[in-house]
Structures are given as structure tokens and as C-alpha cells.
Amino acid sequence: MEWITRAEQLPTPNQRVLVYVPSAWFDIIVAQYKPGSGSKHAFIKPDSNGVERYVKGVTHWMPLPPAP
């Protein structure tokens, strides 16, 4: 699998993917893609209380690998 830039392609709605965030404490995390209107496309990740939080600074993404 290869990393895909956000400019090249976006995941399907509600798809869980790996995202690369070079400015974050953890560079690679699992997030869910939530499309918005216009150019507002968001990747979200639940916090420890289950509240959906935006993941800012995503530059690349890739599909999750198959489960073992």
C-alpha cells in the first residue's frame, strides 16, 4: 500500500484509514473520514471520552491493512 495525498484523492465517506500528521505527537493514527460541504473535509478520531475530535494537519492517508 502507498500513502495517498489529500490533494490526489480522499477516502470514501465514513471510511476508517491511517492518516499521517507530521506535526502531531503521534505521526500516524487511525481516523475516520467525514466529508463536509465544499472544501470542508474532516478526519476525526474519538478522544478517551468518546467525543469525536478533528484531526488537524493531515497530509496523507492510506486504507487500513486487513485484520490478521
Q: Averaged over 42-65, what is the pLDDT? A: 91
Q: Given the DSSP bridges, would you call strands 42-46 and 52-54 parallel, antiparallel or unpaired?
A: antiparallel
| Closest listed residue to residue 43, CA positions, set 18, 23, 7, 63 | 18
Q: Averaged over 32-58, what is the pLDDT? A: 84
pTM over 0.85? The answer is no
Beta carbons within 10 angstroms of residue 17's beta carbon: 20
DSSP labels for 30-65?
EEEEE--STT--EEEEE-TTS-EEE-TT--EEEEPP
Q: What is the dihedral of CA 25, 37, 52, 32, to 10 degrees?
A: -70
- Domain residue ranges in the chain: 4-63
Q: Is pLDDT at 40 greater than 90 in this prediction?
A: no
